[in-house]
Amino acid sequence: MREDEIEIPNTHPRAKSLRIREKLIEGFRKGLVAYAGLIAHGRGEAFDYILRERTHQFAIDAMRAAIASFMLAKHPVFSVNGNVAALVSKDYVKLAELLNAKLEVNLFYRTRKRELLIRDELVRSGAKEVLGVDEEYRTEIPEIKHLRRFVDTRGIYIADVVFVPLEDGDRTSALIKLGKKVVTIDLNPLSRTAQWASITIVDNIVRAIPKMIEIYRDLSKKDKEYLLDILRNYDNARVLSQAMITMKKNLEELASKGVFIEEVKDYLGDKI
């Protein structure tokens, strides 16, 4: 057990969220997660709170469009960063395998050490091949200014559909400008990535990836026309609007009650 690790009793009202946080801290301790990854997680938690930590219909619609896109793609690639490796490594590898997608380590705060640690984590999670770590296949996307411009010639470089969960805005817009389809997961519908992406899944990655595996199992029984139909009817701007409206509604509902946590109400009794 880590020196600062806490035991989270099942009865703790926020046990689920605390366990996810512990996973990320553990990933940080192992060297997978960047310092900024901890900050990014906190931002995600805040938005998830407003979503009441549930997967909403708008996220499911986006997941269906994402799976349809990956199934129809010629070169689907799943990008992996520190947070993704720490939180959902096993399911992410599994989903990539089901969809015949390549896995590529691609870091914002790139160090050789983290690249290799993340590759090892993916291999431990069942990955047979991990791109993005082999200098021989490294090339640059000049449209991207920071370290994420280095991509694998067998991966993101030739990809037609790229999965970049928990991503920064610059690379998303650059990939879009290069004509690639970009799928993201981002709890913040206002982020530049969420706004630029072709398909934005506004949900916690921890809930979204297992749900996407479930959706794949359903869509794998459908024909090509059915998948194309999902994409013809998909509108990312509508999905983003629905996410923001849901957040607004949740806040309005909670605000109308003032104190909404039952325990607090019980404690304060007639003082409120």
- Distance, CA of 43 to CA of 45 (rounded, Å): 5
**Nearer of residues 69 and 188 to ligand PTJ, judged by Cβ:** 188
* Collapsed DSSP state (helix, strand, coil) of residue 147: helix
> Nearest Cα to 200, choosing from 171, 168, 141, 243?
243
User: d(Cα 177, Cα 53) in Å, to the nearest integer?
Assistant: 33
- The amino acid present at 23, given as its one-letter code, is K
- Helical residues (DSSP H) of 31-178, grouped into ranges: 35-50, 57-72, 82-98, 112-124, 169-177
Give least dist CB 221 to ligand PTJ, A. 28
In angstroms, what is the minimal distance from the CB of 256 to ligand PTJ?
A: 26
Q: Which is nearer to ligand PTJ, 114 or 227 (CB)?
A: 114
- CB nearer to ligand PTJ: give 65 or 209: 209
C-beta of residue 72 within 8 angstroms of C-beta of residue 227: yes
Query: Residue 105 or 230: which CB sits closer to ligand PTJ?
Result: 105
H runs (alpha helix) in the chain: 15-29, 35-50, 57-72, 82-98, 112-124, 169-177, 192-196, 205-219, 224-232, 236-257, 262-268
Please report, as ranges, the residues that interact with ligand PTJ according to CB under 6 A: 34, 36-37, 40-41, 43-44, 47, 81-83, 107-109, 166-168, 185-188, 191, 204-206
> Least distance from C-beta 224 to ligand PTJ, angstroms?
30
Nearer to ligand PTJ, 64 or 110 (CB): 110
Q: Which is nearer to ligand PTJ, 69 or 191 (CB)?
A: 191
Q: Is the dihedral of CA 217, 220, 221, 222 positive or negative?
A: positive
Residue nearest to ligand PTJ (CB): 44
Min dist. Cβ of residue 41 to ligand PTJ (A): 5
DSSP at 51: T
Q: Are 169 and 148 in contact (CB under 8 A)?
A: no
Least distance in angstroms from the C-beta of 51 to ligand PTJ: 10
Separation CA 208–CA 217 (nearest Å): 14
Q: Which is nearer to ligand PTJ, 204 or 246 (CB)?
A: 204
CB of 231: closest distance to ligand PTJ in angstroms? 23
Q: Nearest distance from residue 272's CB to ligand PTJ, in Å?
A: 32
